[in-house]
Amino acid sequence: MTATPSAPDHSLPLETPLSPRKRDTLQFLLDTDGPVTIRAVTDHVAATEHETAPTSLSADQRQPVYVALYQSLLPELDDADIVEYNKARGTVRLTADRAAVESVLEFTESEPEPTSAGRTSRQGLQLRPRKRR
C-alpha cells in the first residue's frame, strides 16, 4: 500500500491550477541555471507538448506557446515572484525557492487532471469533493 502524498507546505503564491505549460516551464527553469531566453523556454514547452525535438518544431507549433508565455504565463509567474521576467531582454529566470518549486511540481504531478466534480484551491492544488457516506 502506497501513501497518498500530502499537500506540500509551501509559500508559493500560485493563484491558478498548474497547467501542463506552467509545470513544463517551471521544470525547465529548475533544470537550468541563470536566465534563459523566452525562445529556449518556448522550444522546450512546445517540444514537450508535441513530443518532438525542439529542432523539429514548426513555426505553427511554436507560436501559440510563445504567445501564451509572453502574454500571460510568464507575467503571472513574475507577478507572483516565482520568476524574474525581463520582457525587454526576452529572458526569464527562477527566483523562488527551488525546493518549494520542486515540492509543488511533485505534488501536482501526482494529482489527476481537474474534473467537473473537482474544484481548485487558490494555491493551484486540485481539491476533490468529499464522498458522502
Give 91's strand partners: 37, 86
Q: Which residues contact 117 (CB under 8 A, 6 or more apart)?
A: 128, 129
Sorted by where each begins, the domain ranges of the chain are 20-110+118-127
Q: Which of 13-17, 25-29, 67-71 has the lowest mean pLDDT?
A: 13-17
CATH class of 20-110+118-127: mainly alpha
pLDDT of 109:
61
Q: What percent of the chain has pLDDT over 90?
A: 52
